[in-house]
Structure 1
Amino acid sequence: MLHQAVELQTIAREAPLQLSVVIPTLNEAGNVKPLLEKLGIALAGIEWEAIFVDDGSTDGTPELLTGIAQSDRRVRMVRRIGRRGLSSAVVEGALASTTPIVAVIDADLQHDERILPDLFRAISDQGHELAIGTRYAGNGSTGEWAESRLKISRFATALAGPIMKTRLSDPMSGFFAVRRDVLLEAAPRLSNVGYKILLDLVASMPRPLKVAEVGYTFGTRQHGASKLDEMVALEYVELLLDKTVGRFVPVKLVQFGAVGMLGVGVHLLLLDLALNALGLAFAWSQAAAVVGAMTFNFALNNRFTYRDRQLKGFAWIGGLLSFYLVCSLGAVANVGIGSLVYDQFHGWWIAGIAGAIVGSVWNYVASGWLTWTRR
């Protein structure tokens, strides 16, 4: 009997892994153990591993995972320093796997792990390339969502329609399984922006995928804090932009230009306030408006356009000063190019546009290099 038990243990250890479950984490210490227990029950009969990809958690998540991984070989961790983002975390976790099928599930226990075997078999047995857990088809449900959140989700789904080569009922889902070779095929084209890795995947594939959908009810978070904030919406818009105009114009340049247009409005508002409300001379009013607009542009770009390199503390002050310098040189370039074009073509509006374009591009390139350089 002892010999047979040893033999069975040896066979179990030698059985090839069939499924890697990639789990991005950011401060999810309270959910790790319950999730692993649920996965163990749901995936009985399947050779699986869990690959946690941690984005700098400060609540003890990495330490907890380290302890678990030392005694459970099904658990691995990819620890990222100085990098964040659910999409890129999923890609790194998938690239660290060797199994033919990769599944993605959130760590917050809101995805119903009980449908993982159905997602797995849809690929392994039924020949699909992608299987998604959907809230909007079959017996799927958004659970206890408020009507406002449901409307936002459906609006985001509608926006995704034009960029998808594969029709999905729930492209916003973060719960799916995919053949690893399909993910590798898409990897060079992925934007790796924000939270919507499934949408990124189907928009990046050069061809439609054979898809299965399995309905599930979205659960409620039990531990930890939600990661949903205004940045999620911004990153979603950034993903849409990257998939539409990104091949022609850098998305950050589009964002930088949008902030610049808002800055023009701030400039005019401050100019009017200083000139007409405070009664300052035009030169002083204009100078105050210029400084105010540049400060506004810097703060907004630092918060949104360059949030992946966001400056804080004393670095914020140094970045602001360098941004003043960059924009001052950009103004010189604006005037110089504008004057040159005006001398050649005598069209003030052509000269004005040419100068503005050159100045804006200079500000974008130079500030990216000097102000928001990667350290």
Structure 2
Amino acid sequence: MDSAVRVADENSGDGSQSARAARAARAATTAELSVILPSFNEAANIPILIGLLDEALAGIAWEAIVVDDNSPDGSTEVARTIARSDGRVRVIRRIGRRGLSGACVEGILASSAPFVAVMDADLQHDETLLPKMLAELRAGDADLVVASRKVDGGTVGEGLSRVRAFGSNIANGLAQKLLNVTLQDPMSGFFMVRRDKAEALAPKLSPQGFKILLDLVSSADGALKIKELPFTFRERQHGESKLDTLVTLDYFGLLLAKYFGDIVSVRFLMFGLVGASGLVVHLIALRMFLLGGLEFNMAQTAASFVAMTSNFFLNNQLTYRDRRLTGMGAVVGMLTFYAVCSVGVLANVGVANLIYADPAYWWIAGTAGAIMGAVWNYAASSALTWRKS
């Protein structure tokens, strides 16, 4: 029987709950280890994981900090119910903020323990590795211990599909080459670090994205002593993966931000990447409208609104995923996006019309107009469409 299922079954009995409460009462008032559990829609997994941690960390003064992004499935309340009877469990509910990296940073900063571990709340990370990771940090030979799927003895197991495993390998290679990261598995989301080291780096970390480890290591610029331990990535048992294809753009944004020394924010780079895709959409739409017989001014205007619509939905899903608009809010947001970008459209069409003289150079005129509109679009959308609540 799988260990997660076995612990879940054991926890259903009053005797097991009483034993766990007794162990919690005997635990030191000050935790030596904080386990940060970022969550979104993990209500079914959180009780199982807390039971697994209780078993794996026997004899260690630990706490779990569940950082929940206001999950609609009631994850926050599930975690709070456990916390009422187990003082080792704390809960942070985030409203108006989303993203694994930001949740991890908030959890780390909420800890007072000398060591902090970050692991997913979806049961795919092996909690039995935590004591070994802690022993490495206690010995003083490492500042950061990473659970790696890439070192000898480690494997992705059944936790990643072939497509995701292939993408992970490419992402690892890019991180190692562009950022000179020596980690074998910089994409791992399971690690333990000295809290003071992580806290010192916190101002440099991006609250966006999913790759907190890569951000942490690249921001440290070689100052961390790192040890990698092998582990097998488990298959998810409950719930659905939070990763989607748009995370690829998010990852490239983080790589570029770190590569250029954080001169510009990840959000700005995300907006730029979305804008680049919008330029492609714009040119395709412009060509289709021209071939359909529209005169250039009308075709350029129509193509601009097609590109704006594409950009709105991509930015809503990726660039501003922590402020994502839904329902009527998305409808109003799109109309607001159109309104605030209208000045950009006027600049776009005006500049393009000045350049457009020869039909053979339609793409030059279209590109120039789109670039002129992009500057206004970013400032206006950040301030008005996806403003902080």
Q: Residues 287 and 47 of structure 1: is their aligned pair in 2 closer, same or farther, counting only changes over 3 Å?
A: closer
5 Å matches for 1:205-224? Answer: 205-224=220-239
In structure 2, the partner of 1:36 is 50
Name the residue aligned to 1:118: 132
2:264 paired residue number: 249
Q: Which protein has the larger Cα radius of gyration, Structure 1 or Structure 2?
A: 1
Q: Counterpart in 2 of 1:169? A: 184
Equivalent residue number for residue 4 of structure 2:
none
CA gap 1:32/1:258 in 2 versus in 1, 3 angstroms:
closer
Counterpart residue type for residue 223 of structure 1: H
Residue number in structure 2 paired with 1:344? none
Q: Which residue of 2 aligns with 1:320?
A: 334
Matched, 1:68 2:82: yes
**Deviations 1:239-264, CA, capped at 9 Å, x for gaps:** 11221236333444444344444444
Q: In the alignment, does 2:213 pair up with 1:193?
A: no
Structure 1 vs Structure 2: percent identity of aligned residues?
51
Question: Residues 285 and 234 from structure 1, CA distance in 2 versus in 1: closer, same or farther, beyond 3 angstroms?
Answer: closer
Q: Which moved more, 1:102-111 or 1:181-190?
A: 102-111
Instruction: Verify the 8 A CA contact 1:164 1:202 in the aligned structure 2.
Output: no
Tell me whether 1:306 sits opposite 2:317 in the alignment: no
Q: How does 1:72-151 map to 2 (within 5 A)?
A: 72-144=86-158, 145-151=160-166
Q: Name stretches of at least 5 consecutive residues in structure 1 with no aligned partner.
A: 1-7, 341-350
Deviations 1:47-74 (A, max 9, x none): 1111111111222322222121111111
Q: Contact 1:22 / 1:103 at 8 angstroms: preserved in 2?
A: yes
- What secondary structure sits across from 1:230 in the alignment? coil
* CA–CA distance in structure 1, aligned partners of residues 304 and 27 of structure 2: 68
Q: For residue 348 of structure 1, what is the aligned residue in structure 2? A: none
Instruction: Identify the residue that residue 73 of structure 2 maps to in structure 1.
Output: 59
Moved more, 202-211 or 162-171: 162-171
TM-score normalised to structure 2 length: 0.81
CA contact under 8 A between 1:165 and 1:208: conserved in structure 2?
Answer: no
AA of the residue aligned to 2:333: G
The residue type equivalent to 2:207 in the other structure is N
Change (3 A) 1:172 1:14: closer
Over 3 Å counting, the alpha-carbon distance change for 1:331 and 1:225 in structure 2 is closer
Distance 1:270 1:208, change over 3 A: same
Q: Post-superposition shift, 1:353?
A: 9.2
Structure 1 match to 2:252: 237
Tell me the secondary structure at the aligned position of residue 103 of structure 1: strand
Seen in structure 2, the aligned counterparts of structure 1 residues 333 and 102 have a Cα distance that, compared at 3 Å, is same
Query: How much does 1:289 deviate?
Result: 3.2
Preserved contact between residue 142 and residue 225 of structure 2 (Cα < 8 Å): yes
Deviations 1:165-211 (A, max 9, x none): 65211111111111011101111111132221111110111433112
Is 1:294 aligned with 2:332?
no
Q: CA deviation at 1:131?
A: 1.0
- Residue 119 (structure 1) shift: 0.2
Task: Return the alpha-carbon distance in structure 2 between the equivalents of residues 189 and 120 of structure 1.
Answer: 25
TM-score (structure 1 length as normaliser): 0.84
Secondary structure of the 1:81 match is coil
Q: Is the 8 A contact 1:193 1:238 kept in 2?
A: no
Counterparts of 1:290 and 1:219, CA distance in 2: 46
Secondary structure at the aligned position of 1:57 is classed as: coil
Distance in structure 2 (CA, Å) of the matches to 1:313 and 1:339? 37
Does the aligned pair in 2 maintain the 1:28–1:61 contact within 8 Å? yes
Instruction: Give the distance between the partners of 2:38 and 2:182, measured in 1 at CA.
Output: 25
Over 3 Å counting, the alpha-carbon distance change for 1:29 and 1:313 in structure 2 is closer
Give SS of 1:214's match: strand
- The aligned counterpart of 1:361 is 375
Work out the CA distance in 2 between the residues paired with 1:10 and 1:225: 31
Using a 3 Å threshold, how does the CA distance of structure 1 residues 292 and 11 change in structure 2: closer, same or farther?
Answer: closer
Give the RMSD, CA atoms, in angstroms.
3.2
Q: Which residue identity is paired with 1:152?
A: G
Query: How has the CA–CA distance of structure 1 residues 162 and 67 changed in structure 2, closer, same or farther, with 3 Å as cutoff?
Result: same
Q: Is the 8 A contact 2:208 2:266 kept in 1?
A: no
How many residue pairs match? The answer is 358
Q: CA, structure 1 residues 253+212, in 2 after alignment: closer, same or farther (shift >3 Å)? A: closer
Counterpart for residue 46 of structure 1: 60
Report the CA distance shift for 1:166/1:128 in structure 2 as closer, same or farther (over 3 A).
farther
Q: Secondary structure at the match of 2:341?
A: helix
Match of 1:160 among 150, 158, 175: 175
